[in-house]
Amino acid sequence: MIQAIVFLPLLAALVAGLGQRAIGPFASKLVTTGALFTSCALSWPIFLSFVTGTGQAEVVTVLHWVSSGALQFNWELRVDTLTAVMLVVITTVSALVHLYSWGYMEEDPDQPRFFAYLSLFTFAMLMLVTANNLVQMFFGWEGVGLASYLLIGFWYKKPSANAAAIKAFVVNRVGDLGFMLGIFGTFLVFGTVSIPEILAAAPGMAGSTITFLGMRLDTMTILCLLLFIGAMGKSAQLGLHTWLPDAMEGPTPVSALIHAATMVTAGVFMVCRLSPMFETSDVAQGVVMFVGAATCFFAATVATTQWDIKRVIAYSTCSQLGYMFFAAGAGAYGAAMFHLFTHAFFKALLFLGAGSVIHAMHHEQDMRYYGNLRKQIPITFWAMMLGTLAITGVGIAGVAGFAGFYSKDGILEAAFASGGGGVVAFWVGIFVAFLTSFYSWRLVFLTFYGKARWEQSEHIQHAVHDDHGHGHYDNAHAAHDDHSHHHDAHSDGTAGYHPHESPITMLIPLVLLSIGAVFAGIAFHHQFIYPEEGMAFWKGSMLAFDEHLMHAAHEVPLWVKWTPFTVMAIGLFLAWNSYIRNTTLPARFVAQFKLLHQFLYNKWYFDELYNILFIKPAFAIGRFFWKRGDEQTIDRFGPDGVAALVQGGTRLAVRLQSGYVYGYAFVMLLGLVGLASWAMVNFL
Amino acid sequence: MSGFPILSLMLAVPAIAAIACLFVGDKMARWVALGATLATFVLGCILWANFDIGGAQWQFQELHEGIFGRFNYALGIDGMALMLIMLSVFLMPLCILASWESIKSRVGLYMSMFLVMEVVMIGVFMAQDLLLFYIFFEAGLIPMYFIIGIWGGANRKYAAYKFFLYTLLGSVLMLIAMIAMIAEAGTTSIPVLLNYDFPVQMQTWLWLAFFASLAVKMPMWPVHTWLPDAHVQAPTAGSMILAGVLLKLGAYGFIRFMMPMFPDASGQLMWVVFGLSMIAVVYTSLVALVQSDMKKLIAYSSVAHMAIVTAGLFAFNQQGIEGALIIMLSHGVVSAALFFCVGVIYDRLHTREIDRYGGLAVNMPAYALFFMLFTMASIGLPGTSGFVGEFLSLAGIYEASSWVAFVCTTGIILGAAYMLYLYRRVVFGELTKDDVKAMPDLNPREWAVLAPLAAVALWMGVYPESFLAPMRGDVTTVVARLAPAKPAGDAHLAAGKPKAAEAHHGEAHHAGGVQ
């Protein structure tokens, strides 16, 4: 069963990718989408068996992989609660994204390649979450990185897409450096890369010390931190986050699947999978919590200022991943996984909703040129509305709420209950909840409310002026990065454009994900974060589920439970006040706090900083080594110098031109003959 | 199989064909060369099939004493030699196919040179006599000179000269060292010498003399500058065989001679190797980043990969050495494939300038797919051959020193940067240039070269056991030989006071490197 779930997408990817000429685009789409729906249908029973407590953890060995001395690992598929949660998240979102792409990518000439990449990604992600050893996890880890690279750069004619694709791969490799060193260190310390064996032995290593790069360090701390660097790369945490916003260059279904619901949560999954290791080091947990909280805060501040609808959601993702990490840092792994689970539904929903808006708006992504769309595309509007209610965590404590309400409040309560640094993280989380509400409602209000501002959009003007112009996804994007906005005659701001609701293949996924965004929290919160049910649910998955912490989390003071709702309401009010009631307010605010706005709008200048610190120097040093090192030092004093000494430079040059190759070969032969003669003379 | 001189036959087939090629017409020469290399490949497969894994260390031995005094004709292979012979005989027919159309002048001589090259390459791996080894080892240079010097690019004379100067200098020192070894041990038999304990003082000198020669062959920084020039000037198949097999001779010398014959010196001087390897990984990767010539870029990346091989070998443990051997095989396949990928478009446009291309994904989709696969294999994506070798050797290096492992692992970042940057400029982007637009996708001959290379790169990545199994015993022998000289790793794991009372103390025993 699990073999089918994992390998069907691979098979479909190969058929669609390599056989597209033979079977045609329609069959390619059918094969991949069919495979994913099959995987999805097989995954839910596994998940539900763990929910009802009948599921048993198992490991299926597929093939021997490597054995070198004590370093041995197989291709294995592990199924337990933690994997089952990921299985349903991955296969469900992936299946729906496949379906959605039938509509969204309809006019693209390269659809089989797109669907093959999507299925390939799903396979790699499934290999990652079913890994029973660190190396297979790394296989999945790099596999999703490859798929992400290919999909970000899917429109490969766009220079910006190519740059974003390389950036994503290379920045992730920085994280992988940590991951690889972490695996090496773990093998050195434990003598195995098998995850269950490592986790069983980890408590015994607590307090031991090891030398790393000349520093004497606590063993478990350094191992966890190295592995966590990998998680930071994949999950776009502060410092290694710069690739994620740029990854929005990829088609929107990709953003929903890879850069919101699944791949970017791999880091959180890894920390949860290895939670017994992290439990042995307070320092490592503290770092995880700190990085999570910092990312959470950073990304939310940037999200409040962006105009591109996808970038707002991308920063929102980054920020929500921060929540998951600080939950893990606080020891509330169940809460981290719960937020991962609910977030997958509502964030995929928001991205696909945004895709539907972009589709309706003729590839315009700038929210400044949206407005008043709720009547034009009502289903998209309601889907986005439900997604926003979920992400902002609307709900009434003790009664009912949207998905994000349960998971986010679970995180905040657990952080508060864990005490110490957790309380700081709690307050950061509260502030970010306020920002989340503000930027999410800002997005909804700018897009769906107010007056239509479409006429200023180049894309819309194109659509109005040449009606057939849908075909050029890539060209249209590349050419019109800078908008020259001339006003049209239409006084209603629509430029005479009529947005259309998306086709049915795009609406079905929106509706299904809306169900998840509404009910995923209320349906499963007992299993994920309640103390007793949680213990039963997570047993056999090796997750370090802390029953006491979850008890404490449920018994926090009432004000702790109500604060998230309160700040959500404040954020909603502020967004309404700024973008519906008093629309000049944002501009006045920006004028007032110009520096702050610039700082946030330019994403804290991380890209500029890295460019100066790493990219430019790498090229400069490379050129220096090449010209000054190889050519002007090694060659000058090496072969060229020898030549000059022996023969004088100019004469040599002439000789070289006149073909000395035979001469050299002749010298070699002479040497060999000499050797043979020597051997004969000496030994005869 | 016992008694049948299959190794001699494998030398004889290409040798006879080499002579034949000189006397038949151009068209015929191609077919003769292809037939002979394929026949040798089939013999190689028979050899592999009959190799007894876990059996005697040396198999298929042939010995004819006293042909030139005590200069014996002694052949025999162990698992490592078997794998490198397989690499050579596998690449050879592909090289012939790669030159099928691009070589137009003096085809007979060209094919003859390649066949001679095949003889000496597999001869190197078969030789069990020190002097026989030396002859094969140095004779390999002669056909390479001709290939670069006659069928090379515009600046071929300079490249051939540089190649000559570097390698000659080193090999003179190695020859002197070999003579000294024979004088000391009184034998030229490699199996005997492998277990001979040279005096420690002498080992150092011998080690340095061998190192001078092998470091050039690897090539290691700073004696690597001949390689980019040689590659740039060599014809496509010349680059394939240079990167595919000739670069492995240096590493083979390390593991066959220097490490087991001079274990004490190897232990003392490992820091020289580590130091140069660390510099090479970072230095040549950065240089590769700024290249505008495709072949130069791949040549520099080869130096970086070979640096991980040397560092892995000198980790002195099972993972490090097995990993290094797998990188050798993997790099042999992948870099040959990458050079062929360059050759495919060079044949169409006659330039190696990266900026002259762009947008090939549009008109050459099959090519783009293969090129992507080999790019990924080169940067060590798990599931491809590159990963297995890199991962094992770096894991081994980490056991020896976290510093060396850290610096060498940065190669995975830089490697991704320069390869993807190359791929982007050649394959992605807008297809604007008219002459590039006119380039057709792969023809059947090119498919026939790339498909087997791709299959092997994936096979080695998914199930490397096929390749590791024959070499395991030999590596264990080398590791055991090196064990007394091996310094402790820098980890110094020390048990602390565990949190939980029922702590597993057992794990502390793994301190300082697990075998």
Chain A within 8 Å of B492 (Cβ-Cβ)?
A: yes
Tell me which of A536, A552, A581 is where a domain ends.
Answer: A581
- Chain B residues closer than 8 Å to A64 by CB: 463, 465
Q: Which of residues 98-127 of A touch B (CB under 8 A)?
A: none
| Beta carbons of A70 and B420 less than 8 Å apart | no
Rounded alpha-carbon distances, angstroms, from residue B140 to A115, A253, B118, B233, B329: 49, 55, 9, 18, 19
| Beta carbons of B409 and A667 less than 8 Å apart | no
Q: Which of A266-270, B59-63, B503-507 has the lowest mean pLDDT?
A: B503-507
Distance from CA of A262 to the nearest CA of B (A): 20
| Beta carbons of B139 and A672 less than 8 Å apart | yes
- Chain A residues closer than 8 Å to B161 by CB: 639, 643, 656, 660-661, 664
Averaged over B305-313, what is the pLDDT?
Answer: 94
Contact A572, A441 (CB under 8 A): yes
Contact A495, A488 (CB under 8 A): yes
> What is the C-alpha to C-alpha distance for residues B319 and B325, in angstroms, rounded to an integer?
10
Its sign, for the CA torsion B77, B82, B88, B89, is positive
- Chain A residues closer than 8 Å to B71 by CB: 676, 679-680, 683
- pLDDT lower than 70: segments of chain A: 466-491, 639, 641-684
- Chain B residues closer than 8 Å to A139 by CB: 382-383, 387
Could you tell me if A339 and A413 lie in one domain? yes
Position A648 in a domain: yes
List Cβ neighbours of A559 (8 Å cut-off, separation of 6 or more): none
Q: What pLDDT score does A469 carry?
A: 43
Could you tell me where the DSSP H helices lie in B5-98?
6-23, 26-50, 79-98
pLDDT confidence tier of residue B144, bands split at 50, 70 and 90: confident
Chain B within 8 Å of A189 (Cβ-Cβ)?
A: yes
Could you tell me if A434 and A293 lie in one domain? yes
Of B138, B499, B513, the CB nearest to A207: B499
| Beta carbons of B149 and A169 less than 8 Å apart | no
Of A184, A623, A680, the CB nearest to B69: A680
Could you tell me if A314 and A399 lie in one domain? yes
Averaged over B424-436, what is the pLDDT?
Answer: 87
Q: What pLDDT score does B70 carry?
A: 61
Phi then psi for residue B128, to 5 deg, are -115, 10
Chain B within 8 Å of A131 (Cβ-Cβ)?
A: no
Phi then psi for residue A15, to 5 deg, are -60, -50
> What is the C-alpha to C-alpha distance for residues B256 and B274, in angstroms, rounded to an integer?
19
Q: Express each pLDDT in B480-501 by its tens digit.
A: 988 888 888 887 888 776 544 4
Helix (H, G, I), strand (E, B) or coil at A96: helix
Long-range contacts of B11-17, Cβ-Cβ distance < 8 Å, separation of 24 or more:
B11/B119, B11/B122, B11/B123, B11/B126, B13/B39, B13/B40, B13/B43, B14/B40, B14/B92, B14/B115, B14/B116, B14/B118, B14/B119, B15/B115, B15/B116, B15/B119, B17/B115
Contact B259, B289 (CB under 8 A): no
Contact B412, B327 (CB under 8 A): no
Position A275 in a domain: no
Position A249 in a domain: no
The conformation of residue A64, written as its DSSP 8-state character, comes to E
Contact A92, A46 (CB under 8 A): no
Amino acid residing at A17: G
| Residue B219: cis peptide before it, omega within 30 degrees of 0 | yes
Q: Which of residues 356-415 of B touch A (CB under 8 A)?
A: 359, 361-362, 376, 381-383, 387-388, 391-392, 394-395, 398-399, 402-403, 405-406, 409-410, 412-414
Q: Which of A60, A285, A73, A284 is nearest to A187 (CA)?
A: A73
User: Burial level of A590, CB count in 10 A (0-12/13-18/19+)?
Assistant: middle
Position B477 in a domain: yes
Amino acid residing at B463: Y
Number of domains comprising chain A: 2
Contact A255, A201 (CB under 8 A): no
Residues B31, B32, B37: CA angle, nearest 5 degrees: 100
| Beta carbons of B381 and A146 less than 8 Å apart | yes
List Cβ neighbours of B238 (8 Å cut-off, separation of 6 or more): B144, B147, B148, B151, B152
Could you tell me if A435 and A512 lie in one domain? yes
Residues in chain B: 515
Q: Which of A289-303, B139-153, B177-191 has the lowest mean pLDDT?
A: B139-153
The dihedral region occupied by A504, where left means phi > 0, alpha psi between -120 and 50, and beta the remainder, is alpha
Chain A within 8 Å of B58 (Cβ-Cβ)?
A: no
Structure tokens at B426: 């050649």
Averaged over B456-478, what is the pLDDT?
Answer: 92
Tell me which of A566, A581, A596 is where a domain ends.
Answer: A581
Residue B339 has pLDDT above 90, yes or no: yes
Residue carrying the six token digits 């360059």: B342
- Chain B residues closer than 8 Å to A74 by CB: none
| Beta carbons of A204 and B429 less than 8 Å apart | no
Chain B within 8 Å of A191 (Cβ-Cβ)?
A: yes
Phi then psi for residue B221, to 5 deg, are -65, 140
Structure tokens at B322: 């097995």
- For residues A49-79, one letter each, b for 16 or more C-beta atoms within 10 angstroms of the residue's C-beta and e for the rest, the string is ebbeeebebeeeebeebbbbbebebbbbbbb
Q: Which of B114, B113, B230, B236 is nearest to B166 (CA)?
A: B230
Q: Which of residues 411-450 of B touch A (CB under 8 A)?
A: 412-414, 416-417, 420-421, 424, 427-431
Could you tell me if A424 and A567 lie in one domain? yes
| Residue B222: cis peptide before it, omega within 30 degrees of 0 | yes
Q: Express each pLDDT in B64-93 by its tens digit.
A: 776 656 677 888 999 999 999 999 999 999
Q: Which of A292, A290, A288, A314 is nearest to A303 (CA)?
A: A314
Position A46 in a domain: no
Contact B161, A639 (CB under 8 A): yes
Could you tell me if A500 and A647 lie in one domain? no
Chain B within 8 Å of A201 (Cβ-Cβ)?
A: yes
Residue B124 lies in domain: 6-484
B133: number of Cβ within 10 Å: 23
How far, in whole angstroms, is CA A678 from its chain's centroid? Answer: 67
Contact B427, B68 (CB under 8 A): no
> What is the C-alpha to C-alpha distance for residues A143 and A75, in angstroms, rounded to an integer?
14
| Beta carbons of B498 and A211 less than 8 Å apart | no
Chain B within 8 Å of A419 (Cβ-Cβ)?
A: no
Chain B within 8 Å of A642 (Cβ-Cβ)?
A: yes
Averaged over B85-106, what is the pLDDT?
Answer: 90
Residue carrying the six token digits 């990709």: A254
Residue A534 lies in domain: 281-374+382-460+496-581
Chain B within 8 Å of A657 (Cβ-Cβ)?
A: yes
> What is the C-alpha to C-alpha distance for residues B146 and B132, in angstroms, rounded to an integer?
22
- Chain A residues closer than 8 Å to B325 by CB: none
Chain B within 8 Å of A656 (Cβ-Cβ)?
A: yes
The helix or strand, by DSSP H or E, that contains position A215, with its residue range, turns out to be strand A215-218
Position B441 in a domain: yes
The dihedral region occupied by B430, where left means phi > 0, alpha psi between -120 and 50, and beta the remainder, is beta
Residues B377, B379, B384: CA angle, nearest 5 degrees: 25
User: Burial level of A470, CB count in 10 A (0-12/13-18/19+)?
Assistant: middle
Position A94 in a domain: no
Position A313 in a domain: yes
Q: What is the CA radius of gyration of chain B?
A: 23
Rounded alpha-carbon distances, angstroms, from residue B492 to A213, B286, B408: 12, 33, 21
| Beta carbons of B149 and A661 less than 8 Å apart | yes
Q: What pLDDT score does A655 carry?
A: 52
Could you tell me if A554 and A645 lie in one domain? no
| A-B C-beta contacts closer than 8 Å | 285
Q: What pLDDT score does A658 carry?
A: 47
Position B214 in a domain: yes
The dihedral region occupied by A434, where left means phi > 0, alpha psi between -120 and 50, and beta the remainder, is alpha
Q: What is the CA radius of gyration of chain A?
A: 29
- Chain B residues closer than 8 Å to A63 by CB: 462-463
Q: What pLDDT score does A484 carry?
A: 45
Q: Express each pLDDT in B201-258 by its tens digit.
A: 889 999 998 998 889 888 888 888 888 888 888 899 999 999 999 889 989 999 999 9
State the distance between the two ends of chain A, measured CA to CA, in whole angstroms.
73
Position A131 in a domain: no
Distance from CA of B2 to the nearest CA of A (A): 30
Position B497 in a domain: no
Q: What pLDDT score does A287 carry?
A: 93
Position B326 in a domain: yes
| Beta carbons of B398 and A70 less than 8 Å apart | no
| Beta carbons of B496 and A207 less than 8 Å apart | yes
Distance from CA of A619 to the nearest CA of B (A): 6
Position B321 in a domain: yes
Distance from CA of B369 to the nearest CA of A (A): 10
Percent of chain B with pLDDT over 90: 50
Position B19 in a domain: yes
Q: Which of B389, B394, B390, B399 is nearest to B515 (CA)?
A: B399
Q: What pLDDT score does A482 carry?
A: 44
